Amino acid sequence: MDLNNKITEEEINKAKKIINDILIYYNSKVVGQQQLGVSILAAMITNGHILLESVPGLAKTTAAKVMTEAVQGIFSRIQCTPDLIPSDIIGTQTYNAQTNTFENKLGPVYGNFVLLDEVNRSSAKTQSAMLEAMQEHSVTIGGTLYPMPQVFVVIATQNPIEQEGTYVLSEAQMDRFLLKVELDYPGKEAELEILNRIEAGVFNSSKAVATIEDIVFLQNLGKRVYMDPAIKKYIVDIVSATRNAEQYIGKELAGYITLGASTRAAIAFMDAAKAMALINGRNYVTPDDVKAMRHSVLRHRVMLNFAAVADGVQEETIIDAIFGAVVTP
């Protein structure tokens, strides 16, 4: 570890305050989705993208807007429909009759937090328009390259139960999301609290508790979080086990896997684990930080076959079995 680059106690305390203020604000607005708040915060720290899957009405949009409010970010919302075209997202050239020239107009993709609502309702061609922005953090319009803001997080949502008029995301596009979070219905007490907060007008006001500069500070700090070589090897062993599952979890469970995780999964584990260490107030990564993100990092990267669907085997079952089989450092 480079001692000159070691995170100081002062920096950790500043990070703790920023993270604590954001999470307190988030939990004051969003009920019963604490893990979602942590996941979005991890995506912000790593400048990664997150895919949210749930039935309608479980606060996906609300969570994205609340996090944007908390840090005074620029929020953009793109409602995906079958007739959406790439220029509706990234922008296009328009003709200015007064100057007799073409001008480039940036689309709604240019923001700090971009909500790509019901992403699986747009065509494959339109979905691919997001790939350059998500992967390269830039878009090209009329031959001109426009870099995305320093803090650029795509929060895409999809509904798992609607099939008509939807286009399944390709493995390549799924892999570009740092995390995939699945949301479930809130409990009765949480749902009652939602009604009480709506009645009290909690959602009618907003207050920034941090700034975009604070998130940039967290991003730079996250890169300096120490990860021991043993934990890097642990991550590589986990990812490798998804590709050679029979050696770890037996022929029966391994038979459900069609495709293991790519190298991008190992990178996602490293980045997400460092973010979790920072969220937990540490300047070093532990194996528990890796384990905490196991479902979010792998559930959209370990592809199961139709036999798994028929037998009711979930991705989480396979992931937990792999983590149980690989030796923890």
- CATH code assigned at 256: 1.10.8.80
Domain check: are 210 and 249 in the same one?
no
**Phi and psi, residue 139, nearest 5°:** -130, 155
Task: Tell me which residue of 60, 271, 19 sits closest to 155, measured CA to CA.
Answer: 60
For residues 149 and 252, membership in a common domain is answered with no
Domain boundary among 190, 224, 258: 224
Contact 229, 205 (CB under 8 A): no
Q: What is the pLDDT of residue 288?
A: 95
Residues 137 and 283 both lie in one domain = no
In the numeric block, which tokens belong to residue 294? 């196991």
Range of the domain at 231: 225-329
How many domains does the structure of the chain reveal? 2
Tell me which residues of the chain have a pLDDT lower than 70.
1-4, 161-166
Final residue in a domain of this structure, among 162, 192, 224: 224
Both 246 and 203 in one domain: the answer is no
Pair 244, 310 in one domain = yes
Residue 309 sits in the same domain as residue 264: yes
Tokens of 124: 């494959």
- Same domain for 176 and 91, yes or no, is yes
Say yes or no: 252 and 291 in one domain: yes
What SS3 class is residue 232? helix
Q: Which spans in the chain are helix H?
A: 9-29, 34-46, 60-70, 86-90, 124-136, 171-174, 188-199, 212-223, 229-243, 246-254, 263-279, 287-292, 294-298, 306-311, 315-325
Instruction: Report yes or no: 261 and 243 within 8 Å, Cβ to Cβ.
Output: yes
Q: Determine the pLDDT at residue 4.
A: 56
The answer on 186 and 231 residing in a single domain is no
- Residue 1's pLDDT is 47
Q: What is the pLDDT, as a whole number, of residue 206?
A: 80
Q: Are residues 106 and 207 in the same domain?
A: yes
Do 177 and 214 sit in the same domain of this protein? yes
Tokens of 302: 């370990």
In CATH, what number is assigned to the domain containing residue 97?
3.40.50.300
- Of 208, 224, 240, the residue that ends a domain is 224
